[in-house]
Structure 1
Amino acid sequence: MTGTVTAGLDGSPQSIAAAHWAAREAALRRDRLHLVHADDWPTTAVVRLVSPDEQRRWSDTLLSRTSDELRKRHPGLEVTTGRLPGRPAASLPAEASKAEMLVIGSRRLTGMPGSLIGSVSMATISATERPVVLVRATSSKGKGETGPGTGDEPVEGTGPYRDVVVGVDIDHSCDGLLAFAFDEAAQRGCTLQVVHAWSLPLGFSYAPALDPGIQSDVERRVAQTLSDLLLPWREEFPSVNVVEKAVVGPVAQHVLYAAALADLVVVGRRIRRSPVGAHIGHVAHAVMHHADAPVAVVAHR
């Protein structure tokens, strides 16, 4: 065993899907899977207001049943469990610091009362520098799938995995982001799509109409810069098939478009502090809230 993949459970369909995804990831990496439940999880329709003893029994049953099921699905996978003190927004980041990654369930943020999974996800991502993977529960099945959107079944294609998609900013260092994305693609033996979206500065808005060659020149420079950025990673991961996409338009829109048929979407979050706490960029925000595929948010400098 080389590390630990940790998954947070609260009994919701989203968290169960996250546990299944985490189990597959841990088996792929030959890592240990650690399932955790925070005892002070906010009260919802899933986690009802009960006595402390009842809550502990419920938590133990949830962890036991889920771990037993995952061991059956993944023979040989080491699965451990644990109850965490306090609220998940405080306890999950502490667990993440001990793991290769933290996997939690996520639902779309609708503004409706009870969207607690979303608020926990946001707070957890803000408080940890470890990769956090958000997994949705879905009832839709793609071709070749045999289960209810757990992320644990093969799909049609050249192999059991579809593409990994990563959005990058060529104007800033993103080594941590690319290291994670290339490693995920290498582990899966799948294609890595690298997306960089750009637009001309505001002052050049009319330049293409006056001189069509200006935009073509910029396109070539952007594409070359992206290729140069990826060259050392291609050399480090020669088995990974890389598709480079330097496109014009909104970043989040192009990442989401590429992610429509992906197995995993990887976005970055710069490690920087503000007076009101950690910052999550607008691209990561948009992808987290709108992508159907699992989304890995990777903190990097």
Structure 2
Amino acid sequence: MSNLITVGLDGSSAGSAAAGWAANEAELRGAALELVHAEDWAQYGPFAAPLPEPRPQWAEDLLALTRDRLLRDHGTLDISTRGTSGLTASKVLASSAAEADLLVLGSRGLGAVAGFVVGSTASATIPETETPVALVRSVDGQDQPPGPADGAGPVVLGVDLRSNCDRLFAFACEEADRRACPLVVVHGWSLPPVFSYAPHLDPGVAREMADGLETTLRGLLRPWEQKYPRLAVDARVVIGQPAIQILDAASGAALVVVGRRNRRPALGGRIGPITHAVMHHATSPVAIVAHD
């Protein structure tokens, strides 16, 4: 591990909130922090709003001012800056993430009910890297990231028991352990269509299937509970759409963790529908972890 966290800056309030969250995370990990600004000329059309100063100077000032602000609150952090121009922002960020343990990006907030919209740069970057990516939105357009008022929210992990969950468990357990907060593990499921009428004929069918899934989840969690004996784990197997169940459990969470299949199809990587829904509607920071 490089013991480095990288955060992408674009001058928005969400980017500033992401930098603040990343600084807190770096302190928790005892890691260095790198601030990156990728000047993607292609995204600015001929009618883009002019800046009060040339873009290279604006980008340099953005990095310097953000670094100074973070050092005022986190004086012991090792903070470096890096700016690039003329390259696609997503490519620069994905390249930067290859050298980091975590990439942090901002997302435009739409309010507590609507959640947030993940911008095109973040959406393009996530499938390009195997490094975990954390998405952070600002609160009401301010520079502060969201979070529980008392700072005691859990880490919420959404899992698909049909997938290899080891990378997800490792990331979520480490995050919950360093925060000394509970870990809530959620698996949402539905009866297969062939059993759609079974609960009406035999109410025990759904309970029997749920018991089997709970046994499977507990078995997967057992090695991690042994590795983190102080960690309080709340395992939930619930009937319903997985994204909705994860979002329901994530209310007031310190961090939400979801997975992304590590696939490289001919047309590029993709983000699954459950992760996509959580990314766009969770009000807490969301970490996307690539897995097999």
Same fold at TM > 0.5? yes
Compared with structure 1, are the counterparts of its residues 247 and 6 closer, same or farther at alpha carbon in structure 2 (3 Å cutoff)? same
- Specify the alignment match of 2:62 in structure 1: 62
Provide, for residues 166-203 of structure 1, a one-character-per-residue CA deviation record: whole Å limited to 9, x for no partner. Answer: 10011221111111011100111101100001111100
**Does residue 236 in structure 1 map to residue 208 in structure 2?**
no
- The CA distance in 1 between the partners of 2:240 and 2:131, in whole Å, is 30
**Does residue 34 in structure 1 map to residue 29 in structure 2?**
no
- Specify the alignment match of 2:285 in structure 1: 294
Paired amino acid for 1:123: A
Compared with structure 1, are the counterparts of its residues 82 and 48 closer, same or farther at alpha carbon in structure 2 (3 Å cutoff)? farther
Question: Which portions of structure 1, spanning 4 or more consecutive aligned residues, are displaced by more than 3 angstroms?
Answer: 47-51
State the identity %: 45
Q: Which has the higher contact order (CA 8 A, sep 6+)?
A: 2
- The CA distance in 2 between the partners of 1:72 and 1:161, in whole Å, is 24
Gaps of 5+ in 1: 110-114, 141-146
- The CA distance in 2 between the partners of 1:148 and 1:18, in whole Å, is 8
Compared with structure 1, are the counterparts of its residues 154 and 210 closer, same or farther at alpha carbon in structure 2 (3 Å cutoff)? closer
- Specify the alignment match of 1:112 in structure 2: none
Paired residue total:
283
- Specify the alignment match of 2:162 in structure 1: 171
- Does structure 2 retain, via aligned residues, the 8 Å contact 1:133–1:296? yes
Compared with structure 1, are the counterparts of its residues 291 and 154 closer, same or farther at alpha carbon in structure 2 (3 Å cutoff)? closer
- Specify the alignment match of 2:145 in structure 1: 150
Secondary structure of the corresponding residue to residue 260 of structure 2: strand
- Does structure 1 retain, via aligned residues, the 8 Å contact 2:109–2:117? no
- Specify the alignment match of 2:113 in structure 1: none
Gaps of 5+ in 2: 111-115
- Specify the alignment match of 1:260 in structure 2: 251
- The CA distance in 2 between the partners of 1:148 and 1:31, in whole Å, is 22
Secondary structure of the corresponding residue to residue 197 of structure 1: strand
**Does residue 277 in structure 1 map to residue 268 in structure 2?**
yes
**Does residue 211 in structure 1 map to residue 202 in structure 2?**
yes
Compared with structure 1, are the counterparts of its residues 135 and 19 closer, same or farther at alpha carbon in structure 2 (3 Å cutoff)? same
What value does the CA root-mean-square deviation take over the aligned residues?
A: 2.3
**Does residue 97 in structure 1 map to residue 98 in structure 2?**
yes
- Does structure 1 retain, via aligned residues, the 8 Å contact 2:4–2:31? yes
Give the TM-score normalised by the residue count of structure 1.
0.88
**Does residue 225 in structure 1 map to residue 226 in structure 2?**
no
- The CA distance in 1 between the partners of 2:171 and 2:284, in whole Å, is 17
Secondary structure of the corresponding residue to residue 56 of structure 2: helix
